[in-house]
Amino acid sequence: MDVRKLEALLRNVRTGKTSIDDALVRLKSLPFEDLGFTRIDHHRSLRKGFPEVIWGEGKTSQQILSIVRQLKGKGQNVLITRLEEKKAKTILSVFPKGRYYPQSRVLTHLTHPVKVTGKGAILVMTAGTTDIPVAEEAAVTAELMGNRVETLYDVGVAGIHRLLAEKGKLEKAHVLVVVAGMEGALPSVVAGLVDRPVIAVPTSVGYGTSFGGITALLAMLNSCASGVAVVNIDNGFGAGYIASLMNRL
Amino acid sequence: MDVRKLEALLRNVRTGKTSIDDALVRLKSLPFEDLGFTRIDHHRSLRKGFPEVIWGEGKTSQQILSIVRQLKGKGQNVLITRLEEKKAKTILSVFPKGRYYPQSRVLTHLTHPVKVTGKGAILVMTAGTTDIPVAEEAAVTAELMGNRVETLYDVGVAGIHRLLAEKGKLEKAHVLVVVAGMEGALPSVVAGLVDRPVIAVPTSVGYGTSFGGITALLAMLNSCASGVAVVNIDNGFGAGYIASLMNRL
Amino acid sequence: MDVRKLEALLRNVRTGKTSIDDALVRLKSLPFEDLGFTRIDHHRSLRKGFPEVIWGEGKTSQQILSIVRQLKGKGQNVLITRLEEKKAKTILSVFPKGRYYPQSRVLTHLTHPVKVTGKGAILVMTAGTTDIPVAEEAAVTAELMGNRVETLYDVGVAGIHRLLAEKGKLEKAHVLVVVAGMEGALPSVVAGLVDRPVIAVPTSVGYGTSFGGITALLAMLNSCASGVAVVNIDNGFGAGYIASLMNRL
Amino acid sequence: MDVRKLEALLRNVRTGKTSIDDALVRLKSLPFEDLGFTRIDHHRSLRKGFPEVIWGEGKTSQQILSIVRQLKGKGQNVLITRLEEKKAKTILSVFPKGRYYPQSRVLTHLTHPVKVTGKGAILVMTAGTTDIPVAEEAAVTAELMGNRVETLYDVGVAGIHRLLAEKGKLEKAHVLVVVAGMEGALPSVVAGLVDRPVIAVPTSVGYGTSFGGITALLAMLNSCASGVAVVNIDNGFGAGYIASLMNRL
Amino acid sequence: MDVRKLEALLRNVRTGKTSIDDALVRLKSLPFEDLGFTRIDHHRSLRKGFPEVIWGEGKTSQQILSIVRQLKGKGQNVLITRLEEKKAKTILSVFPKGRYYPQSRVLTHLTHPVKVTGKGAILVMTAGTTDIPVAEEAAVTAELMGNRVETLYDVGVAGIHRLLAEKGKLEKAHVLVVVAGMEGALPSVVAGLVDRPVIAVPTSVGYGTSFGGITALLAMLNSCASGVAVVNIDNGFGAGYIASLMNRL
Amino acid sequence: MDVRKLEALLRNVRTGKTSIDDALVRLKSLPFEDLGFTRIDHHRSLRKGFPEVIWGEGKTSQQILSIVRQLKGKGQNVLITRLEEKKAKTILSVFPKGRYYPQSRVLTHLTHPVKVTGKGAILVMTAGTTDIPVAEEAAVTAELMGNRVETLYDVGVAGIHRLLAEKGKLEKAHVLVVVAGMEGALPSVVAGLVDRPVIAVPTSVGYGTSFGGITALLAMLNSCASGVAVVNIDNGFGAGYIASLMNRL
Amino acid sequence: MDVRKLEALLRNVRTGKTSIDDALVRLKSLPFEDLGFTRIDHHRSLRKGFPEVIWGEGKTSQQILSIVRQLKGKGQNVLITRLEEKKAKTILSVFPKGRYYPQSRVLTHLTHPVKVTGKGAILVMTAGTTDIPVAEEAAVTAELMGNRVETLYDVGVAGIHRLLAEKGKLEKAHVLVVVAGMEGALPSVVAGLVDRPVIAVPTSVGYGTSFGGITALLAMLNSCASGVAVVNIDNGFGAGYIASLMNRL
Amino acid sequence: MDVRKLEALLRNVRTGKTSIDDALVRLKSLPFEDLGFTRIDHHRSLRKGFPEVIWGEGKTSQQILSIVRQLKGKGQNVLITRLEEKKAKTILSVFPKGRYYPQSRVLTHLTHPVKVTGKGAILVMTAGTTDIPVAEEAAVTAELMGNRVETLYDVGVAGIHRLLAEKGKLEKAHVLVVVAGMEGALPSVVAGLVDRPVIAVPTSVGYGTSFGGITALLAMLNSCASGVAVVNIDNGFGAGYIASLMNRL
């Protein structure tokens, strides 16, 4: 039932051609799907201030450029993830004000300045230096979603003192995103030190039985510390996203 | 927005208190969930003639009895799957006209005779005798859903002549449900012999590397014959159900 | 026993040289395999109107060209799957009327127009845009097998309203092919909305624990909705094929 | 270095026996572990208002009773998880004011009333009825940790209208705990409908390729919706715990 | 086409009612399945001297007794595998001349003495004592199939001298069945010492990462020694069977 | 203890310098490893007539050339497996009488004609055409090891008549090597048709859940037909080798 | 070749009946296996002071008693692992001086006091209290093998201060056995704190994705700290054994 | 609390401004993390004589050069692992006295000669020649850490005599590092021959079901011989490292 039919129905109610009871019956069986777009818009509006996110993998530079143009037209900030350097260059040649992070393969383009709406700081930590690209994806995502982001890199559990030396930083954080590959033990230790939610991000860093991040993932799911929840392997974006939702609670 | 509000809105349209444009706007943002039950009823009616299915596992005899009573009150036929013998006895002591299939742990209770609405015969086959309980679940399900069901058991590929000797039966079938454990090869051979859809059901029959049916499942997913689709391990009910949907097309 | 020997035997029956009993004995132990080709022909004829399918992977352009020539000679339509673009170009340079679908790596060549013999429409759906190549393989297969095919792409469960807005399209379909990667949830939702068989196709879209489509496959096998059967990961062809068989029932 | 040695050192600083530089050197190499208990106490105090949690599995009734007595002595509320019914009865015979939840095998004992400190409501949802025990563990945990908890059970994706009919409830929740077995699709759909963090809990409900909850876990990790983080299979406690941490942010 | 129809056809050829060409056409499309039983009989006769094998698992004592009676009636020796002790007792109470091997859960019943037809000795070896039940199943199978069987138990690779001390026995064997759990290394060492085929049988002996025999299986499949082929985990029967086929070559 | 020391000992026995008892003691504790090479030679001699096998992977052309020269010098035939085409060309430029099989990446070089010592024919079969490279490796290996080899390709179970049409060929074979990818069902069907040992070779042919040959491997290990043993995925060489050992029994 | 033959050979050398060259040839091909027992004895003697170990699983009380009697007769200390309580009671009723550890299911029987031969202390640690049975098996094994053993239980990484508070104990240890289930992170942290070898023992403690210890095992294999080696899941005995070998270096 | 604040506190104690009790309270709650670096230095000093290790993977040549310069400045020896040849060349062009091992991708640079501090010899063994790169990484690591290293390559279990012929070498070793791919059986055989700890290193050598080293790893974890501990797949460095720690005990 499209809008014109709905309008006609209402006119008939007005003129008495259709009884109110008949109209009720017809409206109750109304295919709600026609109303869907309204809902989607309403839904979208709740998310105001968040950037629009484009999954770069499997899209051509031209496709991405076209989406970016649309979003810019609507005054949206843009976050493109999983974007190869080559495509990034093409996009930056058109939108030179964008910024590309080659390690995390993320490109951001600000149509308007990001307004900080998150309540506290989100601390993004890594166990090793090779985990940094995933952490950076989380950090950039959280920043674009209106958060103050702190980082603390290379504080893996094999050198526990380096971590403990930064306990002050940990305690000041509102939400913690902890990124680790290999044995994935860092979130357990961190969650034992703070009373804030820890989002654990396994990375595919490692070799042999690290199984591309599965070992780290399993370790994080089995954390002996309470207060840890986990996202997919290398999913820095997802961690930054849910951390942002938390930081607005 | 409940019905009374909707009625009030229409009255206001009738009396002119609310303009048609305003009513349109309000209706377009109408919370569709209030219309949900209508849809569900409509949806249900499409399924007329199908039995109601109760998943017996994890429910007490008393819970099941109470559901059966409700359904009987609505004149529905009832199919209970994954029902332990002990519970079945309790239920049959109350509803003695029900029938329990101890191998497949299925209980049926007919409030009215099943009307055959399926177009052709559904042939349910097994590779071995130990696969029969799963096949029986498929057969009983399909029968209650209004199909003529044929069975052909113990025609595994190690004795290919036994299968070929029944080629006539295969060719007469409209839809084939092929149940096999161990190496799960039967659906491939059958699909090569007929031009009808084959629903393959892996069973947990086997030992060692049969991995509780995973080997059979994988073999079926990798069938070199076209025309095979697969359901979960030991899911006789699911196979009988989708075969019934097909047989009504 | 070849045909000449069989002919000789019959001649001897005719002339009385061989008694009927002796002939019976010899015929009963006749190596049936000599009759195999007859059967195959008979079998083939049942499939009349279906295209011949060539698995392109692992064949050279020359091998494929030679097969295409043979099939064309017999007046067959041809479907080549898993064909690299480079080989496709070679083949199209010889058969310029063929059509190549670079996304799904499928090439079709029509010797005669496809006659629509399927009863209803087959609806091919995807959860995301990256699932489209697999869906396209299913759609092209079903079309060549004589079906009217509708498509509905990018209606994943994270935006459930986009799906519900197309419920009319879903309800009109005779058979539904639902293609999804990542968490593979779309077939469950779709099967809950329709009373037609749903063929679920997991895709290798995703990263980390999507395990190249295994997660989507497992989710589809464990659908809480009845009426779903599953094919191998990325097996668009297989889904299109069995959907076509169903649509002729 | 124990406190007496530290005291002596300070005395020597006071009297000049030890120079400030020497004291600095000694203090800098001070074995920090001696200070550990202080930290732990400080740490504990941050958690004030949280119940003490006892993992019941692998402990005897006597061991548990002894811990409960200690905690009661300190005025702590107590939460015992994974507690068999038999042990629960022993404990309740001593502490009859405790409450045992047989489905989720949780026992609570309140020394003082729980004070609601969580900001909003935590909504605990399940896909099916068999997921309820895990959900109940999450709900009881969150309640004891000072939250208002709402529940919404049996709204699986195969009947999407039942879920949409409760969209209001979803939108009111501050944090959502979504519990599902089988294909584990519910968190994806829910996260697409709200702008709050979703904690997904896979359950071991299912059979065959549900692999005791692994399929649901994988599906949740691969959610196409943003805003989902996952805990271990059947880890209702862990979900309730992190949801509580979030609800205090 | 049954025999009477075939006879009628031949009569018509004799009388000239049916031309030879027509008869040829009809015979070529003859449903070979009707000839199947002839083949099967012929096939069976090739196996003369082999015992009939009954898979005991999932069959009731009564079902087994009934099959044993039939086979005894035909003068067949009988081998029942995977038979629980309780059922075995019932069977032995009826057929007291049978023999039950409680470790390997095998029951044999000789209607006639076994004639040794195998060419050489089959040597059945184990790595440990806990592997003996599986080895015994292989040995009993091979003996009933007409072979001279030698055994060599508990010669695992951790005490390589015990194995080397029996090199003479190894070199005299015609075929070797090597049974091992845990790391499954024995077949590799044995195959390096002999020039005869080695059938490797992984057992479910072990704990932790032995994964119920998978580790042993994988090790055997990856043997660095040539001349090894593998059967399913704990499949003593299968190993004894194929070793017997080899020993007749 | 080297040979000179042993000689000295014997001389001392001869001259009476060392008593027989002392010599016995010394000889009994003789480090047997010094005799190892003798054994190896003796062992080798048993294998006379077999080619020497070089694993080509991970060796440079120069390394391989050097080994080939040595073996040629000893009058040995040479079989090189897993040899890249590029290296093969280098080797053939030096030894132009060698023969390279590009599909199976095998190179053979005959120093003397192969003498057929195998008793019967070894039949090497494949399910599909893409399995042929692995089959060819088996065939070439078996030929070089002195066997008459027959081949039967592309007789997969989806077209069972093609297989049955060749039953004569199957029955004539002494040992059967059955090569299949995808669902790996062919060995089960073949083993049901013959009374000879079947060596099953899974191949990595397939996609998605074929898991690089694991599905075929598992299916073969779980064959419902007796008389099947299995080698590693794509291990044509191993199958040809053990088949050759069998064919000499 | 047995000793008599060897003696005869030497006699013939003495008398000149056999030339030295002939004797050399015969001795060089001497079946070394006859010398095996000498080696084994020599080998054993190296292990003097170690207890004899009996794997209790799958042995009857009578079999174990008989072995214990033999070992006692030789003056050996005895260690029985994986021994059910019921069997233990039977054995203790015969050898009341034995000691049974019900948690770790280990029984020891000292024929003579253990002499401490290990150089330093072996420290056995656990992450949780449920890991203690495995740790106890390691500790008892190491003690019987002549080591001073220290223990440190329940110092998991979620409460890092408890661990650090015991750093002194860690630094004093010569070899460390670190036992942990769940996420298995403790060995990484410990190995970062000490400069001694760490033997990591994963336990089957946990639920859901702990997969019976696989997660802990994988985490340990992927330790970001150097100096860690791993044994099988729950293999306390193996850890105690290799730690003892190290402690004698 | 930084050093200046600590100094101020002590001054106040000296002057009496702060009472000893107050100072004690402040010191006990002292953030130990500020003392962390001291500890680390102390810790480092224990490792004196060990080279600094740089993980080369994922670092640029420039980053590595900068680290090497720093370490050289401190007089440290340097070990770089997992270093691509291309980067190695860049580094050697700057530090031409370094040495690169192309097979194991290790680069060493000695600032001062290595002093042998290990007590005995470390024997590094391999099953095959393709395992040598991993073995070389272990050997180079152990040498730089101050050990005498022996090697014994290509002594796999399929030719057990080659191994036994070197038993003397085995018995002389203090610690054994045993490197093997494929079925990973060598450590079991070796551990049965010696009374020294065996560090087993699985390699990714193999194909098909070797699963990139998982099969070898599992076999090693399930060794039937006591005295084996395992490191990650291809982790030659880790094996050399822990062997070095052992050799200093």
pLDDT digits (tens, 9 = 90+) for D90-147: 999 999 999 999 999 999 999 889 999 999 999 999 999 899 999 999 999 999 999 9
Residue D197 sits at φ, ψ, to 5 deg, of -65, 140
Average pLDDT over residues E6-26: 82
The helix or strand, by DSSP H or E, that contains position F20, with its residue range, turns out to be helix F20-28
- Residue-wise pLDDT for G170-217, tens only, equals 989 999 999 999 999 999 999 999 999 999 999 998 889 999 999 999
Put simply, whether A1 touches C (Cβ < 8 Å) is no
Structure-token pair, residue G190: 């410990």
Backbone φ/ψ region at B206: left (φ over 0), alpha (ψ -120 to 50), beta: left
- Read off the amino acid at residue G100: Y
d(CA E220, CA E202): 8
- Residue-wise pLDDT for F137-192, tens only, equals 999 999 999 999 999 999 999 989 889 888 889 989 999 999 999 999 999 999 99
Using CB atoms, which chains have 3+ pairs under 8 A with C? A, B, D, E, F
Q: Are A177 and A138 in contact (CB under 8 A)?
A: yes
- What is the pLDDT of chain B when averaged over all its residues? 86
List, edge to edge, every strand of the sheet that includes C99-101: C52-55, C78-81, C106-109, C99-101
Cα C124 to Cα B194, C157, C230, E86: the distances in Å are 25, 16, 14, 56
- Residue-wise pLDDT for B36-65, tens only, equals 323 333 333 334 457 788 888 878 899 899
pLDDT attached to residue C72: 85
- SS3 string of chain B? CCHHHHHHHHHHHHHCCCCHHHHHHHHHCCCHHHHHHHHHHHHHHHCCCCCEEEECCCCCHHHHHHHHHHHHHCCCCEEEECCCHHHHHHHHHHCCCCEEECCCCEEEECCCCCCCCCCCEEEEEECCHHHHHHHHHHHHHHHHCCCEEEEECCCCHHHHHHHHCCHHHHHHCCEEEEEECCCCCHHHHHHHHCCCCEEEEECCCCCHHHHHHHHHHHHHHCCCCCCEEECCCCCHHHHHHHHHHHHCC
SS3 A89: helix
SS3 A199: strand
Name residues whose C-beta falls within 8 Å of residue H248's C-beta, 6 or more positions apart in sequence. Answer: H117, H118, H119, H146
Strand segments (E) across C68-214: 78-81, 99-101, 106-109, 121-126, 148-152, 175-180, 198-202
* Pairs of residues, one from chain C and one from chain D, whose beta carbons lie less than 8 Å apart: 119
Closest partner CB to F20 (pick from G14, G24, G34): G14
Q: What is the dihedral of CA D5, D11, D16, D19, to 10 degrees?
A: 40
Put simply, whether B204 touches E (Cβ < 8 Å) is no
Put simply, whether E204 touches G (Cβ < 8 Å) is no
Nearest CA to A43 among C155, C157, D223, D195? D195
The helix or strand, by DSSP H or E, that contains position D71, with its residue range, turns out to be helix D61-73
Q: Which residue of G has its CA nearest to E169?
A: G33
pLDDT attached to residue E11: 87
Average pLDDT over residues E79-92: 96
- What is the pLDDT of chain G when averaged over all its residues? 86
Separation in Å, CA of D38 to nearest CA in chain A = 13
pLDDT attached to residue F49: 57
Per-window interface: A 42-81 vs G, CB < 8 A: none
Nearest CA to F226 among B182, C6, C80? B182
Name residues whose C-beta falls within 8 Å of residue C45's C-beta, 6 or more positions apart in sequence. Answer: none
C3: how many CB neighbours lie within 10 A of its CB?
12
Q: Are C132 and C147 in contact (CB under 8 A)?
A: no
Which pairing describes strands E78-81 and E99-101: parallel, antiparallel, or unpaired? unpaired
Put simply, whether G218 touches H (Cβ < 8 Å) is no
Chain C residues within 8 A of E38 when measuring between CB atoms: 28-29
pLDDT attached to residue A153: 94
- Read off the amino acid at residue B202: P
Average pLDDT over residues C97-126: 94
Closest partner CB to A20 (pick from B14, B20, B23): B14
- Read off the amino acid at residue G61: S
Percentage of the residues of chain G whose pLDDT score is greater than 90: 61
Average pLDDT over residues E175-180: 98
Contact C39 E29 (CB under 8 A): yes
pLDDT attached to residue A3: 57
- Mutating which of H153, H209, H214 best tests the F interface, going by the most F Cβ atoms within 10 A? H209
pLDDT attached to residue D39: 33
Closest partner CB to E235 (pick from B167, B168, B208): B208
d(CA A229, CA D228): 9
d(CA F128, CA H211): 24
Closest partner CB to D241 (pick from A174, A199, A227): A227
- Residue-wise pLDDT for A22-47, tens only, equals 887 666 544 433 332 233 333 333 34
DSSP letters, E26-44, are HHHT--GGGGHHHHHHHHH
Nearest CA to F23 among F1, F45, F39? F1
- Read off the amino acid at residue G226: S
Q: Which residue of A has its CA nearest to H214?
A: A209
pLDDT attached to residue F59: 86
pLDDT attached to residue B16: 86
Using pLDDT thresholds of 50, 70 and 90, give the confidence band for residue E42. very low
Q: Is the pLDDT of residue C46 over 70?
A: no
Using pLDDT thresholds of 50, 70 and 90, give the confidence band for residue G13. confident
Q: Are A194 and A167 in contact (CB under 8 A)?
A: no
Chain B residues within 8 A of E217 when measuring between CB atoms: 208-209
Separation in Å, CA of C58 to nearest CA in chain F = 7
Chain C residues within 8 A of F166 when measuring between CB atoms: 33
Q: Are E115 and E50 in contact (CB under 8 A)?
A: no
d(CA E123, CA E178): 8
Q: Are G12 and F13 in contact (CB under 8 A)?
A: no
Contact E40 B208 (CB under 8 A): no
Judged on CB neighbours under 10 Å (0-12, 13-18, 19+), E85 is: exposed
Contact D231 A221 (CB under 8 A): yes
d(CA D107, CA D68): 11
Chain C residues within 8 A of D211 when measuring between CB atoms: 218
The model's pTM: 0.85
Contact F249 E195 (CB under 8 A): no
d(CA G83, CA A15): 90
d(CA E193, CA E196): 9
The helix or strand, by DSSP H or E, that contains position E114, with its residue range, turns out to be none
Of H57 and G230, more confident: G230
d(CA C178, CA C180): 7
Cα D178 to Cα C190, D4, D124, E92, H245: the distances in Å are 21, 53, 6, 57, 49
- What is the pLDDT of chain F when averaged over all its residues? 86
By mean pLDDT, which of B221-235, F198-212, G13-27, G133-147 is the weakest?
Answer: G13-27
Put simply, whether H202 touches E (Cβ < 8 Å) is no
Q: Are D56 and D87 in contact (CB under 8 A)?
A: yes
d(CA B76, CA B63): 17
Query: What is the sign of the dihedral through the CA atoms of C107, C111, C116 and C117?
Result: negative
pLDDT attached to residue D48: 46
Query: What is the sign of the dihedral through the CA atoms of F142, F144, F145 and F146?
Result: positive
Put simply, whether A238 touches D (Cβ < 8 Å) is yes
* CA-angle at A153, arms to A147 and A157, nearest 5°: 125
Q: Is the pLDDT of residue A159 over 90?
A: no
Q: Is the pLDDT of residue A215 over 80?
A: yes
d(CA A89, CA A219): 38
- Residue-wise pLDDT for B90-142, tens only, equals 999 999 999 999 999 999 999 889 999 999 999 999 999 899 999 999 999 99
- Residue-wise pLDDT for H150-190, tens only, equals 999 999 999 898 898 888 899 899 999 999 999 999 999 99
Using CB atoms, which chains have 3+ pairs under 8 A with E? B, C, F, G, H
Closest partner CB to D246 (pick from A47, A238, A246): A246
Q: Which residue of F has its CA nearest to H162?
A: F36
A and E touch with 3+ CB pairs <8 Å, answer no
By mean pLDDT, which of C3-7, F207-211, H75-79 is the weakest?
Answer: C3-7
pLDDT attached to residue E33: 34
pLDDT attached to residue D5: 66
Contact D14 H10 (CB under 8 A): no
Contact C221 B226 (CB under 8 A): no
d(CA D200, CA E149): 59
d(CA E121, CA E176): 9
Chain C residues within 8 A of A40 when measuring between CB atoms: 159, 161-162
SS3 A214: helix
d(CA F161, CA B201): 24
pLDDT attached to residue D166: 87
Query: What is the sign of the dihedral through the CA atoms of H7, H11, H14 and H17?
Result: negative
Contact E222 H182 (CB under 8 A): yes
Using pLDDT thresholds of 50, 70 and 90, give the confidence band for residue E185. very high
Put simply, whether G32 touches F (Cβ < 8 Å) is yes
d(CA F181, CA F192): 19
Closest partner CB to G249 (pick from H174, H229, H237): H174
- Residue-wise pLDDT for A42-55, tens only, equals 333 334 457 788 88
- What is the pLDDT of chain A when averaged over all its residues? 86
- Residue-wise pLDDT for H68-102, tens only, equals 888 888 788 999 999 999 999 999 999 999 999 99
- Mutating which of F179, F188, F228 best tests the B interface, going by the most B Cβ atoms within 10 A? F188
- What is the pLDDT of chain E when averaged over all its residues? 86
Q: Is the pLDDT of residue H33 over 90?
A: no
d(CA G238, CA A76): 61
Contact A249 D221 (CB under 8 A): no
Percentage of the residues of chain F whose pLDDT score is greater than 70: 88
- Residue-wise pLDDT for B139-172, tens only, equals 999 999 999 999 999 999 998 988 988 888 998 9
Separation in Å, CA of C162 to nearest CA in chain E = 46
pLDDT attached to residue G49: 58
By mean pLDDT, which of A191-205, B144-158, C22-36, D188-202 is the weakest?
Answer: C22-36
Using pLDDT thresholds of 50, 70 and 90, give the confidence band for residue B226. very high
Closest partner CB to G158 (pick from A188, A215, A219): A188
Put simply, whether H41 touches A (Cβ < 8 Å) is no
d(CA B122, CA B147): 7
Q: Is the pLDDT of residue F34 over 60?
A: no
Q: Which residue of D has its CA nearest to H32?
A: D32
- Residue-wise pLDDT for A173-188, tens only, equals 999 999 999 999 999 9
Residues (pLDDT < 50) of chain D are 1-2, 29-48
- Residue-wise pLDDT for F72-126, tens only, equals 887 889 999 999 999 999 999 999 999 999 999 999 999 889 999 999 999 999 9
The helix or strand, by DSSP H or E, that contains position C58, with its residue range, turns out to be none
d(CA A66, CA C160): 25
Per-window interface: F 98-157 vs C, CB < 8 A: 129-130
DSSP letters, E187-219, are HHHHHHH-SS-EEEEE-----GGGGGGHHHHHH
Closest partner CB to C234 (pick from F167, F168, F207): F207
Q: Are F97 and F109 in contact (CB under 8 A)?
A: yes
Of B75 and C25, more confident: B75
Using pLDDT thresholds of 50, 70 and 90, give the confidence band for residue G25. low
Helix G3-15 vs helix F3-15: angle between axes, to the nearest 10 degrees? 70
Using pLDDT thresholds of 50, 70 and 90, give the confidence band for residue E120. very high
